[in-house]
Structure formats: structure tokens, C-alpha cells
Amino acid sequence: MRRITKLLFLFLLTACGHTEKRTNSVTQGKKERVFYVETKNFGIDLQSCFSHSMFNKWSDTSFKLHDNTISYKGNDLNNKHAFLDIKSFTPTNTPDNVEKITVILNGDLTVKNTTYLIKRFALQDNGEWKRIANYGDFKTFDRPNDFISPTHLDVDEICEQLVEQTIKSSYK
């Protein structure tokens, strides 16, 4: 009985050590990029749509958002971008792969008068955000088959455009 216990202990010790080495060699030096997204001038409905569409999700180079990490294919985690709400950012735990994207909506939600600006920031060692990119004003557009409100942007229309451009801006 004692011999079996020792063999079982030795087997478990060897198996655990082997698994740990394998896991470390697979993930060593690879991190997903984390983007904290800040929004400005969003109404309640647009903020809700954007939050539900964007936060706590991740994308790959196909610019599609996914809910779970199990479906991520590929070994290069640098191409995996996770999107979180800036409200959940804590400066005490700041890995090197953290950036911030600010989306600023301007205008009155009419097709002619609405633009949005996207800025990208990197986290500095002192805990402050430094702007690293300014992607300029993007003009909003209406769906070609919008017969109900052809001069006003619906919340889902503008939300879709903002989410898509935010994802693309994270890969630039």
C-alpha cells in the first residue's frame, strides 16, 4: 500500500510539473490587447446599445465581435483585442498591453450634422493617458433603404457605425 501511494504521488507530481511547463511555453510572451473604451456625448439609448454591443467582448482581424474566448483561433494573441468599459479601469493593475479609445459624438443625430471623433491613448508609466492617434472626424451615413426616417439616424444605425469604426481603430 505504501509503495502504491509513493508511486501515485510521484506520478501526480510529474504530471503537474509537465502540464505547467507546457502551458508556460505556449502562452509565454503572448498577451491579448485590452482597450478601455470611453464615450462622450452619447444619449442614454445610444450608450446602452454601444455598451451591450461592445463591452466585455473581443475581436480578431476579421473585425467581428465575439462573446467567448473559447472560439479564438490562432496562437498570436496580439491580434486579439478585448474591449472593456473605461469605468472598469483600475490603475493599480496595468499591464503593458492596455490602451484607451475615446469616441466623441458631435451633432444632433441628423444625417447631415452628425460626426464622431475617435482618439487612441497609451497608458504611461506614471498612470496617465498619452494620445497616440487621432483618427479625425468620421461622417455618419444613413442606410440606403431607410424610408421611415431618411434625415435622422436611428440609434441602431449610429451604434453599428460607432462599434465598427472603434474595432477598426484598435487595429490601426
How many structural domains does the chain have?
Answer: 2
Give the pLDDT confidence score for residue 128 in this predicted structure.
86
Residue 101 has pLDDT above 80, yes or no: yes
Residue 45 and residue 89 in one domain:
yes
Domain region containing 101:
31-170
Region 96-122: what's the mean pLDDT?
A: 89
Tens of pLDDT, residues 3-14: 544 444 444 444
Residue 141 and residue 61 in one domain:
yes
Residue 71 and residue 140 in one domain:
yes
* Calpha distance 116→161 (Å, rounded): 10
Residue 80 CB partners (closer than 8 Å, separation 6+): 32, 33, 58, 59, 60, 72, 74
Residue 81 and residue 141 in one domain:
yes
Residue 24 and residue 92 in one domain:
no
Residue 18 has pLDDT above 70, yes or no: no
Cell (9 digits) for 65:
465581435
Residue 18 and residue 60 in one domain:
no
Residue 6 and residue 91 in one domain:
no
Residue 117 and residue 153 in one domain:
yes
Residue 4 and residue 64 in one domain:
no
Residue 35 and residue 21 in one domain:
no
Residue 19 and residue 65 in one domain:
no
57 to 7, 21, 34, 68, 80: CA distances (angstroms): 45, 29, 10, 7, 10
DSSP H or E segment with residue 155: helix 155-170
Q: Residue 17: which pLDDT band, with cuts at 50, 70 and 90? A: very low
Give the pLDDT confidence score for residue 92 in this predicted structure.
66
Residue 25 and residue 41 in one domain:
no
Give the pLDDT confidence score for residue 15 in this predicted structure.
43
